[in-house]
Copies of this chain bind each other. A is one copy, B any other.
């Protein structure tokens, strides 16, 4: 039976030693003193490890059940959801006027990692609600905000995102769901949506569906899509619940993982909807949710990698099998623990260096969001917009790989469901797909974000790395980090240059390398994070920290990433520079 220990110490390290959040002048950051964030993280850590994590396997085994239109969630979910609500966790970073606590996004992200790691399927109920509430906050009328937000911020009501239809996923222009305008200013929605996470359940009094649909007579394709609020129960003027709306769950999907979340086919049969934002501008409104959701999904990749790693590490220390080739480490026992074996170490170091680097990456990204939103910093906004597909695509691809590596440490036991390692991998798998499959992230990165604002943001990133290297090149102990980072960053620049020189003539020359570019970029980002952490830990050691072992371990883990993972950048560059020909050589018929 797997367990979860909240990484409060490591989160504190990133927030304070690395990002120095409480020294920042971003509004709200002054509050983020170490004692305060520690108290919040400890509390969240207790709830997630003691209450929510034990329900992870329960959710996987029991799954959700649809009976006469009613969806039953797994045992214990309702009680745990009540506890989450009572603790005020769903509103942590939501505005105070709607009942939230107005904490910066960076703290919400730190807490969110724990929730996701403890139980991804469970956490999605509140995660989707957060996304839907953000969209209403950004695009709703005052009346809509007053009606929905207080209940959604508390998770008294939950929310969903309805985009996909059977014949259209990425290409939302093919959408068929219709919204017919009514005389009273409302719309009647008719159509079918699929893959709707948390689409139906009884844990909340009401469910607020955000639904993309087309108003007849509007523009063709994606330009004719509008966004609607469609509550499960209509809300009366006094805020109380009225009739059941014309929206029902037609089916629950049987999935590879996240069994504890109800993935629904939702049927809209003349359901009453309220326009959110402007007519035909639905994609813009939806993107408010999607960018936040993409970073949240990147975090899921990291979170599953962390919980899987924790359990692999415990097993590697506990399981006795074989002997250290350099001499027995447990001579009085029948064998040495797995952790003595170099290839087991390799697996553990791959995981550890990814998880800690990825954690810094996510929190750094979240701090950019705070800068963008709270300090209205346009450059930060541009940079996080560039980084979003990297965070989503790289962290979920790698995060999944790490769950597979963690499972491998268990040998045969890793394949047996009761050990729980399979679930981590099966749950992590979805993060590579939803909120835009990772191929779409790579396309977004190379096809849109790189050239955004004349390439300003990617240049800013290169400057950031360059300045970091320049500032630290003579700092004792930093050469192990600065040199590999420089090399990796050079590979990234060369790849960008290749796209510039070839992509205009032939877009496929760039797009054939998009996935490699996303991974190359991700490695450079993690290299930068490890550089920043190394700098912080060297400083702590210089200052005579009482916790020298922690910082020495950080440095060794970072050196592993720099020497054993960063060499991947040259491979990605070589693939990118082979261009479109190898990829596009065959006619479709020749396959």
* Residues of chain A having any CB pair with chain B under 8 Å: 164, 167-171, 173-174, 194-195, 253-257, 313, 317, 320-322, 325-326, 329, 334-335, 337, 339-349, 352, 400, 404, 407-408, 411-412, 414-418, 422, 425-426, 429-430, 432-434, 437-439, 442-443, 447, 506-508, 511-512, 514-515, 549, 552-553, 556-557, 559-560, 563-564, 567-568, 570-571, 574-575, 578, 580, 582-586, 588, 590-591
Contact = CB atoms under 8 A, between A and B. Distances in A.
Nearest to A169: B411
28 contacts: A167-B320, A169-B321, A169-B411, A171-B322, A254-B417, A255-B417, A256-B415, A256-B417, A256-B422, A317-B591, A325-B508, A325-B511, A339-B588, A339-B591, A341-B443, A342-B512, A342-B583, A342-B584, A346-B512, A352-B591, A408-B438, A412-B434, A414-B433, A425-B429, A552-B590, A557-B586, A559-B582, A564-B575
A585 to B, nearest CB: 4
Contacts of A418: 254
Contact of A507 (B325, B574, B578): B325
Contacts of A339: 588, 591
A284 to B, nearest CB: 19
Most buried by B among A253, A426, A583: A583
Given A322-B170, A574-B567, A345 B443 contact: no
A442 B570 contact: no
Contacts of A169: 321, 411-412
A485 B575 CA distance: 16
Given A321-B169, A343-B443, A408 B433 contact: yes
A439 B171 contact: no
Given A341-B439, A348-B591, 18 more contacts: A169-B411, A174-B320, A174-B334, A254-B417, A256-B416, A256-B422, A256-B425, A326-B507, A329-B588, A341-B443, A342-B514, A344-B439, A408-B432, A408-B439, A415-B430, A426-B426, A564-B583, A570-B574
A526 to B, nearest CB: 15
B588 A337 contact: yes
Secondary structure type dominating chain A contacts: helix
Most buried by B among A337, A340, A422: A422
A509 B571 CA distance: 23
Contacts of A253: 416
Given A254-B417, A349-B582, A564-B575, A515 B343 contact: yes
A567 B557 contact: no
B588 A560 contact: no
Contact of A335 (B171, B559, B560): B171
Contacts of A549: 590
A335 B515 contact: no
A559 B585 contact: yes
Contacts of A447: 325
A511 B343 contact: yes
Contact of A170 (B254, B321, B442, B570): B321
Given A343-B442, A349-B582, A563-B582, A255 B512 contact: no
A404 to B, nearest CB: 8
Contact of A343 (B335, B433, B439): B439
Nearest to A437: B411
Nearest to A167: B320
A252 to B, nearest CB: 11
Nearest to A325: B507
Nearest to A553: B590
A213 B167 CA distance: 57
Contacts of A574: 567, 570
Nearest to A418: B254
Contacts of A563: 575, 578, 582
Nearest to A510: B342
Contacts of A344: 439
A345 B587 CA distance: 10
Nearest to A585: B556
